[in-house]
Structure 1
Amino acid sequence: MGQGQELIKTRNDPQVEIQERGEIFFFYRPKVNREEVHSADDVQRLYIVLRPESGEKAVEQKQSPDSGKEGAKSGLSSPGSSHSHDNDEDKRLKEHPEGGHGIKEVNIEKEPLLRLIIMGKKALPDPTKKSRPFFGFVEMVTTKINDIRDALQEEEYDTKTRGHRKNPKARAVGEGVYRILRHKYSENRMHTHLVYKLELPPKDAKNEPQGELNIEREGSFIIQIKNPEQGGSRSDFRGVQSKRKAVFPAHLQGRFGNKRFGPDDPTDFLNYEGGEFLLISASDDIEEELGLELKPETEEPNPGCSDLVKMFGPDCVPTAPLFEGTWT
């Protein structure tokens, strides 16, 4: 269905500038050893996948492909197929816990760039509680679609205290278009927004998981990048495995100065594993808030035109939540 289009309506305030356009996908993973999900209580994690396709720059900078999880996965087979391979990856990440480093240029109009994000909570921020921030974490950045596909699969492992454990496959729960933009809300002040609009599930679907996970039909969030060199006791990532401190190149790190957080400008900040950010709910009506109307490629999407299915394959993950709006 592609990145869609946007219509910016002429008005003096607010002023918005599009930094990046692309596709957004939402997934949830059930809790360990739990195959059926009946409510958010049965959910372990909420994932977001961003695929930028155009923007201010055709070429974005990302971490070097031989670093982070992308590098650790090079030459490895799918998770669960070989415990020794999984152990090799875990060992490498323990020895080098920092996030992705180095620089590679990617032309996002010609090759895929995919960001796998884990939310610190099992939901998006509640649009009725606009002052409460939620943390997010860049788990993986890659140009290989199979890396994301593999990360969403079932995983099996053994523990000393609880024996054999199984992480079920993730479930697809939303597909749409997104924008990252600058919002100049006064003469000398600016922040950045992540806005999205769903194409799937269809409007007449039940929307049971979407409702509990706060995945509205459209949403706007102020996004702030955390300075990895500014410490702090606050952590909303308890339980997230292999959390790694981001290593930004000097030209990005220098933008923070002495501040703990900064705007997502440029969007290259999201192209380094270990990067943490805040999402603060701004509105569930993008047009009213920002004078921006997001338009998907098709107004009546169906399973046959799902980019998620085309990209990852029809058997990658269960899709009942995506097409029917039901838990599974």
Structure 2
Amino acid sequence: MADKKVDPETSQDQVSAGDKHKTEVENPDAKRTKVEEKEEALSDTINDHGKEKKDDTGQDVKEEPADSKPDTKSANGNGTAAEKKDDEVPSSILEKGIIYFFIRGRVEVEKPEEVNDIARSFIILRPIAHDAKLSEGPLRDAGNTRILVVPKKVLPSSGRDRFLSFVEKSGASYDEIKGQFLAGEEYETKTKGTRHTPAATPIGEGVYAITTTGRESHLAYMLTIPQKLGEVQNALKVKEQGSFIISTKNPKYPGPASAQLPKGPEYPKKILEEFRDLRWIPTQPDHFDYDNSQILLIGESSGIEKALTPQEEDEKANKEKPLEAMEELEEEDLKRMKHMPGDSSASIYADLKAHAEDYPKLQTTF
């Protein structure tokens, strides 16, 4: 799959990979240890987007709380072992699922040895049904996976970090992910002959939730693999638990010259009307279901606490807290991955119905 022409070098911030050091080798025993411990314990910078939603006059604009039900396009067709009653599910969780983090080296760089060797980072979101619980083994292909490109390579980690990403592929099947994303590619050039784009390399897997706090939307995640963060994860700002404020760009307004896509998203009338004349609106799950949707990721240094704030009406109704729902999902995923074949790399590829021997192993060190 050819990368879209978005300049990833627009930020003045430079991220160093740090001193090289050894980390624990990924193996089934390491993965099992984390499960046992859990069981025992039970970018671009966008300057015109402020923390508060404002209209073109600079006045605050109050955003209406989003519908608590995710779009069926985002969350249908998933294997479940059991279901919660709908009235027990926190209304602030708009969508939940499995998240994967990948990187791709620059042309002719098979194994990145520093951040500058990376062309782009990718976030893969694989939704599951709103009230579903994970069953053992790989998830079946629901054809609803999205591939989100992070041109800045590193993830935003504080409110000062505001990186523009875009949906490269929505509604992807596992075959499309294997054939068009995971695999490398060779192409011919007039001046340099045959060139090789390396295969994508996994750096993590976990669970996620898209949540609303009424005014803002958030993408929160909890990492399952690797068991211990390595140099690569630290350099790219991938955390054991992290979250971002997420906002969707109105396609009728042009973005910075360095972040413009050749083609905009083909939103239906319903979504276009949600924007009104605002440049940004809180991201809804169905915004990820359209190629070229531009999603602003704003870092949250406080971790996942704000993203998982309970809604007042849910507390009155004694519904499950969002944090408890996320921890339960993480626990299910830990147990599920424990029974997957092979090491951590093999587990990730098995989840995507790919053969681990055909692709790079999980990278934790440069």
Q: Same fold (TM over 0.5)?
A: yes
Stretches of structure 2 that go unaligned for 5 or more consecutive residues are: 1-34, 36-78, 83-89, 133-138, 310-321
Alignment of 1:257 onto 2:276:
yes
Task: Choose the corresponding residue for 2:250, options 227, 249, 263.
Answer: 227
Matches within 5 A, 1:1-328: 17-55=92-130, 111-125=142-156, 127=157, 129-150=158-179, 151-184=181-214, 190-203=215-228, 207-236=230-259, 243-265=262-284, 267-283=285-301, 285-287=303-305, 290-291=308-309, 292-293=322-323, 294-295=326-327, 296=330, 297-299=332-334, 302=338, 304=341, 306-313=347-354, 314-321=356-363, 325-327=364-366
1:156–1:165 CA contact under 8 A, matched in 2 = yes
Deviations 1:197-241 (A, max 9, x none): 1000013xx51111111111111100000111112435336xxxx
| Deviation larger for 137-146 or 295-304 | 295-304
1:228–1:247 CA contact under 8 A, matched in 2 = no
Seq. identity, %: 31
**1:290, distance to aligned residue in structure 2 (A):** 3.3
Deviations 1:185-205 (A, max 9, x none): xxxxx11000101000013xx
- 2:43 alignment counterpart: none
Does the C-alpha gap of structure 1 residues 34 and 317 become closer, same or farther in structure 2, counting only changes over 3 Å?
A: same
TM-score normalised over the length of structure 2: 0.62
Does the C-alpha gap of structure 1 residues 229 and 45 become closer, same or farther in structure 2, counting only changes over 3 Å?
A: same
Deviations 1:35-92 (A, max 9, x none): 23211111111011101112289xxxxxxxxxxxxxxxxxxxxxxxxxxxxxxxxxxx
2:141–2:174 CA contact under 8 A, matched in 1 = no
Does the C-alpha gap of structure 1 residues 110 and 29 become closer, same or farther in structure 2, counting only changes over 3 Å?
A: closer
Q: What RMSD in Å do the two structures reach over aligned CA positions?
A: 3.0
- In the TM superposition, structure 1's runs of 4+ consecutive aligned residues that sit over 4 Å from their partners are 1-5, 298-303
- 1:105 alignment counterpart: none
Amino acid at match of 1:310: D
Distance in 1 (CA, whole Å) between partners of 2:175 and 2:231 is 29
1:18–1:56 CA contact under 8 A, matched in 2 = no
**1:164, distance to aligned residue in structure 2 (A):** 1.6
Amino acid at match of 2:199: K
Amino acid at match of 2:235: E
Distance in 2 (CA, whole Å) between partners of 1:121 and 1:217 is 20
Greater strand share, structure number: 1
Amino acid at match of 1:137: F
2:163–2:298 CA contact under 8 A, matched in 1 = yes
Amino acid at match of 1:245: G
TM-score normalised over the length of structure 1: 0.69
Distance in 2 (CA, whole Å) between partners of 1:281 and 1:56 is 28
Does the C-alpha gap of structure 1 residues 34 and 227 become closer, same or farther in structure 2, counting only changes over 3 Å?
A: same
Distance in 1 (CA, whole Å) between partners of 2:265 and 2:292 is 4
Distance in 1 (CA, whole Å) between partners of 2:253 and 2:81 is 37
Distance in 2 (CA, whole Å) between partners of 1:164 and 1:287 is 49
Greater helix share, structure number: 2
Does the C-alpha gap of structure 1 residues 192 and 3 become closer, same or farther in structure 2, counting only changes over 3 Å?
A: farther
Distance in 1 (CA, whole Å) between partners of 2:145 and 2:167 is 11
Stretches of structure 1 that go unaligned for 5 or more consecutive residues are: 6-14, 58-107, 185-189
SS at match of 2:238: coil
SS at match of 2:100: strand
Does the C-alpha gap of structure 1 residues 317 and 51 become closer, same or farther in structure 2, counting only changes over 3 Å?
A: same
Deviations 1:229-274 (A, max 9, x none): 112435336xxxx743111000001100111111113x11110001
SS at match of 2:252: coil
Does the C-alpha gap of structure 1 residues 249 and 42 become closer, same or farther in structure 2, counting only changes over 3 Å?
A: same
2:141–2:173 CA contact under 8 A, matched in 1 = no
Deviations 1:112-161 (A, max 9, x none): 31101111211111x2x312210111001124211111222110011123
Does the C-alpha gap of structure 1 residues 289 and 253 become closer, same or farther in structure 2, counting only changes over 3 Å?
A: closer
